[in-house]
Amino acid sequence: MANENLSKNAELAIKAQKQKQANAKSAERAELKDITGQTKTVKILEGTEHEWSMTMRHPGVPTASSILDDAVNRFNNPVPSTLVTDCIDQGIIVSPRITSTDFFNTHDGFYEVAGQLYSFLTQRL
């Protein structure tokens, strides 16, 4: 009986070790290039007389996730003003140099910018 239990425990330990190795290999195969610092340029109001370009730099998944978490109201609805402000503060919009949402007093496309930022930040979440 004791030998039987030892044999079963040994089998379970071997099985657990093989599963651990398979999981590690699976995670290794799924690894992607680090998204931190990757940039993307988009056109805002494309095809209109007020078209302008915006370049964004990804802050990495933890920061992106935090920004997105903060940019919702108590009903879990997105708050564009918070999203855009946080992205400005975090330096995600690298071009043009925007220091506050006052930029949108003289440039159209605020909600399009919010949508582009949301899409960019969630691309790998």
69-105 pLDDT per residue, tens: 999 999 999 999 999 999 999 999 999 999 999 999 9
State how many domains the chain has: 2
Q: Could you tell me if 24 and 49 lie in one domain?
A: no
Q: Could you tell me if 20 and 62 lie in one domain?
A: no
pTM of the model: 0.77
Which among 41, 59, 70, 73 is positioned nearest to 121, based on CA atoms? 59
Q: Could you tell me if 62 and 102 lie in one domain?
A: yes
Q: How many CB atoms lie within 10 A of CB 48?
A: 11
